[in-house]
Amino acid sequence: MIVGYVLALLAALASGAGSVLESIGVRRAGAYGGSALDLVHLRRQWVYFLGIGVDLVGFTAAAAALHRLPLFLVQSVLAFSVGVTATISAFMGTRLAAPGWVALGVGAIGLILLGLSAQPGPAKVLPSAWRWVLPAMALVVGAIAWYVRRFDRPWAAQVLGFATGVGFSVVGISARTLDVSSSGWAILVEPAVWAMILNGLAAAVSFALALQKGGATAVNAIMFTTNTALSSVIGLVFLDDRVRDGFAAFTIVGLILAMSGAIVTAHFATQAKEPVRATVAAS
């Protein structure tokens, strides 16, 4: 069980750090605030691909954690990567207001409550028909990203963050329900594997578009709030994720604190002041 918690924490750290690196890459490429075609310039930004590599490390750790712990716990820990993103950004000079730090503390308390309430164990196997619905969800995520990419309004980043959250939620559900007993070529026809690949790619594209239209912390908050809420409901209702006897209140309060902490952190992060040197350089 301890291994699962360590893996989930590593996934959150990697995801938060990866988001910062990818955001830096988007801005260095001059794609921030531009059109979708501007993302082509990312091919020259090694820092962006480093961020993707760090994200992949986080994904691997999260997938391993999901075989040991319920979705509502692992995805909530991943949601706390918004705090990792905000902390790294603060060290880089972006000033987060005091209420933002308080919100991070509130989110941390929520994670502690979730950790105390979660009952470790494997997930229930989905029926065959439903297992093939998971790969098809990549079409939904891709369609949202394709339609919203043309808009330069503030809500566009929010919708793309939501689509990213849906995509990564499907990735998490697929990892949770993956039949690890499959070996050799059999793993290639496993629907959960294709669901992780296709939805991961669709979510990555949607995330890049979202970073182009909004800040990393704000996009992360929407993405992980969607991811946590959707995954938690599906895990508890359909996958036999369990709460320790007598700890249901801990789970409810923990989810509320964890998600609200991420949302409030994002609110103050979007209002955070850039370092003075950046303002001077731009003038």
Q: What's the pLDDT score for residue 115? A: 84
Q: What per-residue confidence (pLDDT) applies to 276? A: 39
Residue 125: phi and psi, rounded to 5, are -75, 130
Chain centroid to Cα 43, Å, comes to 23
Q: What are phi and psi of 272, to 5 degrees?
A: -65, 145
Measured in Å, how far apart are the chain's first and last C-alpha atoms?
A: 53
Residue 95 φ/ψ, nearest 5 degrees: -85, 115
3 state SS for 81-120 = HHHHHHHHHHHCCCECCHHHHHHHHHHHHHHHHHHHHEEC
Q: Cα separations (Å) of 40 from 21, 37, 52, 78, 234?
A: 17, 6, 16, 29, 36
Helices (H), the chain: 2-28, 46-66, 71-79, 81-91, 98-117, 128-131, 133-148, 154-177, 191-213, 216-238, 248-270, 276-282
CB-side exposure of 182: number of CA atoms within 13 Å? 12
Quote the pLDDT of residue 146.
93
8 and 76 in contact (C-beta within 8 Å)? no
Q: What is the pLDDT of residues 4-56, one digit of tens each?
A: 889 988 998 998 888 788 877 777 766 555 555 555 666 667 777 888 889 88
- Facing residues of 243 across strands? 118
Buried (b) or exposed (e) across 191-202, using 16+ Cβ within 10 A? bbbbbbebbbeb
Kindly give, in sequence order, each residue whose CB lies less than 8 Å from that of residue 175, ignoring residues fewer than 6 positions away: 62, 63, 66, 67, 192, 196
Other beta carbons less than 10 A from residue 143's beta carbon? 12
pLDDT of residue 164: 93
Burial class of 185 by CB neighbour count within 10 A (0 to 12, 13 to 18, 19+) = exposed
Tens-digit pLDDT string for the chain (283 aa)? 688 889 988 998 998 888 788 877 777 766 555 555 555 666 667 777 888 889 889 888 988 888 888 888 888 888 777 777 777 777 766 667 778 788 888 888 988 888 888 888 777 777 777 788 999 999 999 999 999 988 887 788 889 999 999 998 999 898 888 876 666 666 777 888 899 999 999 998 998 888 778 776 678 778 877 888 888 888 888 888 888 888 899 999 988 888 888 777 766 766 655 443 333 333 3
Contacts of 248 (CB under 8 A, 6+ apart): 117
- Give the residues across from 95 on adjacent strands: 273
Q: Given CA atoms 34, 36, 37, 39 in this order, what sign does their dihedral have? A: positive
